[in-house]
Structure 1
């Protein structure tokens, strides 16, 4: 199984559902796409992270459940928090990709249409 190392703040962004990585939304794309083995559109990230990737990360690294980030209001707060959590838990952590076929992504256009609901006049 392929594995890749991610910054602890990238991983906590997924497990907490809050963007606490200095890499912002890119951390979501990188972690969700790697762990699931599939590419996602922006509107799919939340569902894939919550339903599939978060449980997988917590299975592999259960101690992530103990990290609850505070409200971070500025870029400086995010960077300082990421630095402090890296000192406490270690900066980089290896994550193993899910096996092929363990997760099947949904069609991004169909999912977007489903999220929007019916459009009047069509």
Structure 2
């Protein structure tokens, strides 16, 4: 199976409601495009996030224990550093099965 390494912030930007990717929205597009196999347009992001979120949480159950309460724009870099120390900076991500991806 093909995998690609993604920054923890990219992954958490999909599994939480927080944009913590070091590449900001570019990181969100990169991981979603890879996982879905599509070059997604903005209006398709919510659907792709929904599909990919459950797949990531199943593949990496430890993501469910990450608490983003209290996270804000002022402290997210420090928070992200702590998450990287605890969980690692990069993780292998697989595309979601092709029969579940529908960009429409």
TM > 0.5 between the two? Answer: yes
Question: Any idea what SS the aligned residue of 1:10 has?
Answer: helix
Q: After TM superposition, which residue ranges in structure 1, 4 or more long, deviate above 6 angstroms?
A: none
Query: TM-score, normalization: structure 2?
Result: 0.88
- Number of aligned pairs? 103
Query: TM-score, normalization: structure 1?
Result: 0.76
**Which of 84, 90, 96 pairs up with 2:94?**
96
Q: Distance in 1 between matches of 2:97 and 2:24?
A: 27
CA drift of 1:36 comes to 1.3
Q: Which runs of 5+ in 2 are unaligned?
A: none
What CA RMSD, in Å, does the superposition of the two structures yield over aligned residues?
Answer: 1.4
CA drift of 1:47 comes to 2.2
Larger Cα-atom Rg:
1
**Which of 72, 77, 87 pairs up with 1:79?**
77
Q: Is the 8 A contact 1:5 1:94 kept in 2?
A: yes
Question: Any idea what SS the aligned residue of 2:22 has?
Answer: coil
Q: Distance in 2 between matches of 1:87 and 1:93?
A: 13
Q: Which runs of 5+ in 1 are unaligned?
A: 107-122
